[in-house]
A and B are shown apart, each in its own frame.
Chain A
């Protein structure tokens, strides 16, 4: 089921700006959810190994754990619903933005890496939250998929608060 969604400009970081746009159906939402989590897992793995600040490393590891858990739950649900995640411009832009972020982070070390990673996490979680609120939850037609999005939303809020706290501690 297609829904009309207002274009949310600049939802993603620069490389993937405007990714959360267009109408989305449940199969596309499933793909967006899995990709959005995977992007943060990839960055978190890098931070847990390359971060120099203990809080940054710990935050990165928690992103890996939490988003892996959410992805498992999302995958279990779409399997149960017999929904096959469908690649779409939003999930493609997310993947591209995530890959570019990881590539950019790999060139940094020490405090510069920590700052770049955590700055990106703050912006990314805020933008994903906006997308969850403005695009994904309103767009989900299946009640269980909508409920899953509503249930994991607070995790993004908690991550955003945590990232901001780590960001402040680095200044």
Chain B
């Protein structure tokens, strides 16, 4: 985690030391989709960049949830065809579960 933080900071410092150099272009945040279907998250593991958003879409005919395994975020009950969006604010690995179906687990890796 610390290495990732430094890697993000160093280019910024370098750009400050060269006033004539234009700053690197900012990446447009992406939106990723995780489909909930057949009592599973697909993809089960998703890697995103900090600033990106993840949208979960429930394609099953009954409710599911997207709940942080460590008591952080919680979509609460997502009804069929309902969507829920999360935009992580920190890098790291987020493990989440469905509180209604304990066989369901997913991971978001935020770089």
Chain B interface mostly helix, strand, loop or mixed? loop
**How far apart are the CA atoms of A146 and B38 in the complex, in Å?**
13
Interfacial residues, chain A to chain B (CB-CB below 8 A): 62, 65-66, 68-70, 72-73, 150-155, 157-158, 161-162, 165
**Distance (whole angstroms) from the CB of A34 to the closest CB of chain B:** 13
Interface string of B52-64 (1 = CB under 8 A from A): 0000000011110
**How far apart are the CA atoms of A72 and B101 in the complex, in Å?**
19
Q: Cβ of A70 and Cβ of B102 under 8 Å apart? A: no
B100 interface residue per 8 A CB criterion: yes
Can you list 24 A-B contacts with CB-CB less than 8 angstroms, sorted by A residue number?
A62-B100, A65-B62, A66-B62, A68-B62, A69-B61, A69-B80, A70-B61, A73-B61, A150-B38, A151-B37, A152-B38, A154-B38, A154-B39, A154-B40, A154-B103, A155-B39, A155-B101, A157-B39, A158-B102, A158-B104, A161-B102, A161-B103, A162-B101, A165-B102
Interfacial residues, chain B to chain A (CB-CB below 8 A): 37-40, 60-63, 80, 100-104
Residue from A69, A150, A157 within 8 A of B62 (CB atoms): A69
**How far apart are the CA atoms of A150 and B61 in the complex, in Å?**
14
Determine the chain A residues whose CB is within 8 A of the CB of B104 once the complex forms: 158
**Distance (whole angstroms) from the CB of B39 to the closest CB of chain A:** 4
**How far apart are the CA atoms of A157 and B40 in the complex, in Å?**
12
**How far apart are the CA atoms of A157 and B37 in the complex, in Å?**
14
**How far apart are the CA atoms of A29 and B38 in the complex, in Å?**
19
**How far apart are the CA atoms of A158 and B39 in the complex, in Å?**
8
Residue of A nearest to B104 (CB): A158
Q: Cβ of B60 and Cβ of A69 under 8 Å apart? A: yes
User: A72 and B61 in contact (CB under 8 A), knowing A151-B37, A154-B38?
Assistant: yes
**Distance (whole angstroms) from the CB of B54 to the closest CB of chain A:** 22
**Distance (whole angstroms) from the CB of B13 to the closest CB of chain A:** 49
**How far apart are the CA atoms of A158 and B38 in the complex, in Å?**
10
Determine the chain A residues whose CB is within 8 A of the CB of B62 once the complex forms: 65-66, 68-70, 155
